[in-house]
Amino acid sequence: MGVVDLSVLIPTTGRRPKILERSQRRWEWCARAEGYTVEVLTTSLYTWGEGCNYLMTRAKGDTVALVPDDVLPNAELYEKAVQGFADKVMPLGRYFHENGQPLHPTIDHLDHGQSHPWSRCFILPTEIVLQLGPMIDATWYADIEYSERLIEHGWTIRAHKDVFFTHMEAPRDWLTDEEETRSRELYETTIRERNL
């Protein structure tokens, strides 16, 4: 593959192949429709945070999208997202069910341009991701901690009326109490260490 505009990094459990395939096809369709080059990289070996870290070492794109396997990008997401990079603005990852209802109304119904302290997924210049360093090795809270570091680096996370994802219904068998507790404790430890 020659020049890659966008590397889409999708950590996955490996137990939802149809969902993953649908996501991959949508990213590839968007790239063809909008005229940019894309590579979609996946792994099922790690937590979401550590999976993003692993895939980042293989990414060739000028821009990276760090996303879960159960979301589909809307048309023109890439084009609209990169427009804010010069002003250090990253679009908020807003999710809507396939019937159009928001996954979480308080986040997903924010007005265009309204800021938010964290995003569930990320689309950023590769150089910024490399500057931020690795995500924490967590399934939960990795996105919150990463968002906090992004904001500390002078970026703003803002809702964009044309940047959103369709959230597919899928089994969520990774939602265990043990992993939530481990992730939360790791997040809290990381915050303490960052504030020393």
Helix (H), strand (E) at residue 29:
helix 17-34
- Judge whether residue 173 has pLDDT over 80: no
Q: What is the predicted pLDDT for the residue at 129? A: 97
Amino acid at 98: E
Residue with tokens 């043990």: 178
Strand order across the 38-43 sheet = 38-43, 6-11, 63-66, 122-125
Assigned token pair, 79: 């084009």
Q: What is the pLDDT of residue 2?
A: 54
> What's the pLDDT at 40?
98
Tokens in use for 103? 């996954």
The sign of the CA dihedral 183, 144, 191, 50 is: positive
Query: Per residue in 25-47, pLDDT tens?
Result: 999 999 999 999 999 999 998 99
**Residue 17 is inside which H or E element, if any?**
helix 17-34
Q: How confident is the model at residue 1 (pLDDT cuts 50, 70, 90)?
A: very low
Q: How confident is the model at residue 196 (pLDDT cuts 50, 70, 90)?
A: confident
Long-range contacts of 146-152 (CB under 8 A, 24+ apart): 146/49, 146/122, 147/117, 147/118, 147/119, 148/117, 148/118, 148/191, 149/194, 150/90, 150/122, 150/124, 151/117
Best CA proximity match to 53, nearest among 133, 122, 119: 133
Q: From residue 31, give the alpha-carbon distance in Å to each of 64, 69, 71, 83, 168.
A: 13, 17, 16, 16, 20
DSSP classification of residue 174 = T
Model pLDDT, residue 60: 97
Q: How confident is the model at residue 13 (pLDDT cuts 50, 70, 90)?
A: confident
